[in-house]
Structures are given as C-alpha cells and as structure tokens.
C-alpha cells in the first residue's frame, strides 16, 4: 500500500451501494460482457441489506487527501457442501480498480473471506474465473488456489430458463427463499 494513502477492508454498508454497483459495471466491462449487466443500485441494496440478505459484500476503502473512496469489492454468498455437511463461501465478484491493482487489495479481500470461512467453520472458498483471464488465474494460483478443471459450469437463463420452468408441475411453492 502506498504511504500516501491508507486502506481498510470492511463490510459494505448501504452508503457503499452506488460505488459497489459502479464496480460491478467496471467488472462487466473488463469481462467483455457489459451488455449483460443490468443490476441497478436498488436491487443490490435490497439483496445486501434487505430483511433477509443472502448476499454479502466487503469493500476496499482507500483514504486519500480528497477523502475516502471505494476502489474494490468482494461480493459473495454462502453455499453448502453436501459432502462436508457445512457451508462455504462462493465469491461471485472480486474486483479492484486498475489504478489500485498491485497494492495487495485483492489478496486482502480474499484473506478476509478466508478468515470468514475459518471463523464460521466453513470448509470452502470457491469462485470462477474466465479461461482467458490469465492475470487473475496467475494471481489465484500464487495464493495456492487449485483450478477445478474436472468441472464444467452450466447455466440456464433467459428463454431456456423460462422453457424449462414451463415444464414444471410445481405451483412454485418450493419453500426456497
């Protein structure tokens, strides 16, 4: 970290929602998928701080002479391992602005999530990375993370999701939140 600025890693607050939303859009741009990103601050605020939040976030706040600025975020949720019988953390988004990369903020965010896992007895911290994102892959491997190459991620969305849902005989009352 630069001597000209100090940084803190902390849980996001409602006051951070605009900044975190902006970082999500920057990440979407970096991942060449800006056109797929449609989240608005109100949605993110409801997910993070509504009556029953299922999504959580940490931020990197850099304090400079011009005041505090959020320059990075880790957005995550709890998952569950049926094999271990305990929760883990799935990191949905990790992003640090280009001007602040290389200062250790990404490592600090991941270390914070690892500490969250250890403190709660969670056995896993997992995330996905695009195959072409070699800088991030190198970073993750430098931390000791293992690629799960034997798994292929699948996704249903849009028309395919709606088409499969139309085949359900359920009334939609699954009990899931």
Relative orientation angle of helices 17-30 and 41-49, to the nearest 10 degrees = 110
At 83 the three-state DSSP class reads: coil
Helices (H), the chain: 17-30, 41-49, 105-120, 134-142, 158-165
Query: Any catalytic annotation for residue 90?
Result: no
Catalytic residue among 25, 105, 140, 154: 140
The rounded distance, in Å, linking the Cα atoms of 39 and 36 is 9
Which residue numbers are catalytic?
A: 140
């Amino acid at each position: 970290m630069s001597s000209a600025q100090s940084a803190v890693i902390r849980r996001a607050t409602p006051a951070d929602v605009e900044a975190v939303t902006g970082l999500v859009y920057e990440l979407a741009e970096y991942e060449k998928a800006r056109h797929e990103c449609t989240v608005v601050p109100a949605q993110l605020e409801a997910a993070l701080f509504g009556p029953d939040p299922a999504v959580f976030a940490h931020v990197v706040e850099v304090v400079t002479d011009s005041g505090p600025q959020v320059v990075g975020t880790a957005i995550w949720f709890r998952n569950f391992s049926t094999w271990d019988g305990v929760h883990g953390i799935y990191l949905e988004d990790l992003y640090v602005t280009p001007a602040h990369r290389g200062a250790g903020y990404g490592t600090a965010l991941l270390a914070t999530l690892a500490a969250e896992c250890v403190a709660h007895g969670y056995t896993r911290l997992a995330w996905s990375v695009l195959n072409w994102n070699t800088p991030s892959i190198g970073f993750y491997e430098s931390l000791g993370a293992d690629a799960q190459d034997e798994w292929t991620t699948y996704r249903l969305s849009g028309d395919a999701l709606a088409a499969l849902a139309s085949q359900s005989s359920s009334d939609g009352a699954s009990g899931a939140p």
